[in-house]
Amino acid sequence: MTAIDHDFTQPQRSQGGALDWLKALPRKLAGVDKGGQRVIPASPPISAAPLLLEELAPPGFGRSSGNGPEADGPRPLSMGAMAQPIKPISLRRDSIYAAFNTAMPVTDRHGLTGRNAELEKLVEAIVVQRKHAVIFGTRGSGKTSLARVFGDLADEAGCVALYGSANGETDFEALFRSFLPELPMSAAGKEKAKALLSGPFDVPRLASVLVEDVRQRSILIIDEYDRVHSETARQDVAALMKLLTDLHSPVQLVLVGIAGDIDGLIAAHPSLRRHIAPQRVSPIPTPDLARLLLSCSERANLTMDLEALDMLANAAMGSPYHARLFGMQAALIPEAAGRTRITPADVEAGLAVALEDWAEMSAVALAHLARALRDAPHNRRMIALAGVVASQIYAISQERLVEAGAELFGPSDRLHGEAADALARLAPALVPTSAGELWMFEDTLAPQFLLLMAKRPGNGAAAPSRTEEMRAMLKGVDGL
Ligand SMILES: Nc1ncnc2c1ncn2[C@@H]1O[C@H](COP(=O)(O)OP(=O)(O)OP(=O)(O)O)[C@@H](O)[C@H]1O
Ligand SMILES: [Mg+2]
């Protein structure tokens, strides 16, 4: 698959033409047999690139002022500029970060845990049935990983999969301009594409090139589509999808983004809907997450108690991002103590660190959740359940909470009141779904942290963050 490395929002035509600002970032799975197809050399995997963590700081960057040996022994970057030297980053810590990496999507199908069913469905719908697709789910659920691995499978099936990612404000033209030079076209087609790139184009002009001039089945994967805020752009994309289908174009679109349902990403008319395969990125089953965690810890040369593994896999509640994050924080605890086995106590401590880190980055969400838990000690179980339900089916409602509550706690007349109370208390942290009937956490990473907070002893509320404190001080000022 070819990844387009660019920002869809910055055409910069004035700086030497559209081609100049487009940089194709070719990424192919190593060892994939492409037959007669164009083979783009694989970029080295990030984990293979050595981090210069224990190497000397480069000259001129954070040089030591002169006390102590200049050249001997490891010296962390810019350490010399600090009064109290920080601990050098150990190789083992480095390997923990690499093994549990939360930042890099999976690009190798062997590293993609628990997604075989989704991959098969995508191949069937897109490659075989020639539908467009929408891949949606919560933040960190593994949308990009699924889309990238699917793209490589599609390549192997003889298609050309191109991957790009929307960034910030963008319009219809910007979304597609970057793909045009990469599409397999005849010489005449390339000329037409060039003409398109040199001026504004609309849906019919683009569709005509995609229908008449593309010579090979092509799949355009547009990631982070939720960041496209322009309603016009979204409507144009829907219109393009319909045209491509009606005119039997060899080009299909795959939109990927954070949403609770397909309507959250695209307003698809019923006649278009039939031609779009919706692919929800669901929670990964806990045993699969446990396998993922085990393989990460093995790669970091650590072992793990079974109970510790259980605690981590359960706390992640189906999210591969949380599993990796929690696993990494838990793994750093024994590392700091010079041990190589992750125990339940390490997991407790690691989860607390993960919660603190999240609290620092998401002060407002934290304040809302903390307040809900603190003000309703009588209803903590329903508030916590809201997090669990949201992690499993993304959107929550009073009915969904009552149903889950009846299943877990047994039927009771109190459940309706408890569910309504929990929703009302959590309301500041929730946003309505596209249909407006259901609610989801505005920060879709929050449910796992809500549960961690609910499990904390005492009143369950984390100490107010600095931001929360400052917000409290500013209370009453207009505009807040
Ligand atoms: N099936 C999987 N198996 C193993 N790790 C996974 C899987 N899916 C995702 N991950 C890991 O989880 C993290 C988040 O994955 P990814 O970036 O694909 O999620 P996303 O849904 O695209 O996130 P975002 O909403 O931020 O775009 C990454 O570290 C990735 O390596
Ligand atoms: Mg993503």
Give the pLDDT mean for 40-61.
32
Residue whose pair of structure tokens reads 């359940």 in the numeric block: 385
**Res. 110: pLDDT tops 50:** yes
Q: Is the pLDDT of residue 118 over 90?
A: yes
Q: Is the model's pLDDT at 28 over the cut of 60?
A: no
Q: Which residues pair with 297 in a beta bridge?
A: none
- CATH code for the domain of 208: 3.40.50.300
CB distance 302 to 341 below 8 Å: yes
Q: Where are the alpha helices (DSSP H) in 213-259?
A: 231-246
Last residue of a domain, one of 310, 329, 359: 359
CA distance 133 to 357: 35
Task: For ligand 1, atom 23, name the residue with the nearest CA.
Answer: 140
CA distance 212 to 134: 24
Amino acid occupying residue 212 = E
Q: Is the pLDDT of residue 476 over 90?
A: no
What mean pLDDT comes out for the span 108-130?
95
- How far apart (Å, rounded) are the C-alpha atoms in residues 441 and 123? 31
What is the DSSP annotation of 419-436? HHHHHHHHGGGEEE-TTS
Kindly state whether residues 325 and 372 are assigned to the same domain.
Answer: no
**How many residues are given for the chain?**
480
Quote the distance between the C-alpha of residue 352 and its chain's center: 22
pLDDT at 396 over 80: yes
CA distance 70 to 14: 48
| Closest residue by Cα to residue 281 from 305, 304, 301, 259 | 259
Asked if 135 contacts 256 with a C-beta cutoff of 8 angstroms, the reply is: yes
Report yes or no on 58 lying in a domain.
Answer: no
Last-in-domain residue among 359, 383, 403 = 359
Do 218 and 127 lie in one domain? The reply is: yes
Which ligand is nearest the CA of 139, by number?
1
Instruction: Name the β-bridge partners of 278.
Output: 134
Same domain, 355 and 368: no
Question: Is residue 257 assigned to a domain?
Answer: yes
What are 350-358's contacts with CB under 8 Å, separation 24+? 350/326, 351/311, 351/315, 351/326, 351/452, 353/329, 354/325, 354/326, 354/329, 354/449, 354/452, 355/449, 355/452, 355/453, 355/462, 356/462, 357/329, 358/445, 358/449
What are the pLDDT digits (tens) for 186-240?
888 999 999 999 988 899 999 999 999 999 999 999 999 999 988 899 999 999 9
Of 334, 359, 384, which one is at a domain's C-terminal end? 359
Q: What is the mean pLDDT of residues 388-396?
A: 92
Please check whether residues 17 and 159 belong to one and the same domain.
yes
For residue range 242-290, list pLDDT tens digits in order. 999 999 999 999 999 998 888 878 877 788 888 999 999 999 999 999 9
Site to probe by mutation for ligand 1, drawn from 101, 106, 280 as the one with most ligand atoms within 8 Å of Cβ, is 106
Task: Give distance in angstroms: CA of 324 to centre of ligand 1.
Answer: 9
Task: Compute the Cα dihedral for 12, 14, 16, 18 and give only its sign.
Answer: positive
Task: Give 101 Cα–ligand 1 centroid separation in angstroms.
Answer: 10
What tokens were used for 366? Answer: 């934290």
Statement to judge: residues 21 and 129 lie in one domain: yes
Average pLDDT for 68-97: 58
Task: Of 108, 146, 148, 154, give the one whose Cα is nearest residue 129.
Answer: 154
Atom of ligand 1 nearest to the CA of 106: 31
Cα separation of 170 and 313, whole Å?
Answer: 38
Residue 77 lies in a domain: no
Same domain, 9 and 141: yes
Same domain, 157 and 259: yes
388/341 same-domain check: no
Q: Which helix (H) or strand (E) holds 440?
A: strand 439-441
Question: For residue 139, which atom of ligand 1 is closest to its CA?
Answer: 25
Total structural domains within the chain = 3
Claim to verify: residue 112 and residue 238 sit in the same structural domain: yes
Whose atoms come closest to the Cα of 141: which ligand?
1
Per-residue pLDDT at 273: 87
Tokens of 309: 């593994």
Task: Name which residue leads in pLDDT, 23 or 403.
Answer: 403
Q: Using a 6 Å cutoff on CB, does residue 113 contact ligand 1? A: yes
Q: 128: closest CA among 99, 93, 107, 159?
A: 159
Per-residue pLDDT averaged across 33-49, rounded? Answer: 33
Range of the domain at 453: 362-474
How do the residues of the chain divide into helix, strand and coil, expressed in percent and rounded to 5?
A: 50, 10, 40
Map residue 201 onto helix, strand or coil: coil
Assign residue 212 a region: left if phi > 0, alpha if psi is -120 to 50, beta otherwise?
alpha
Q: Answer yes or no: is pLDDT of 51 > 60.
A: no
pLDDT of residue 306: 97
pLDDT reading at 144 higher than 80 = yes
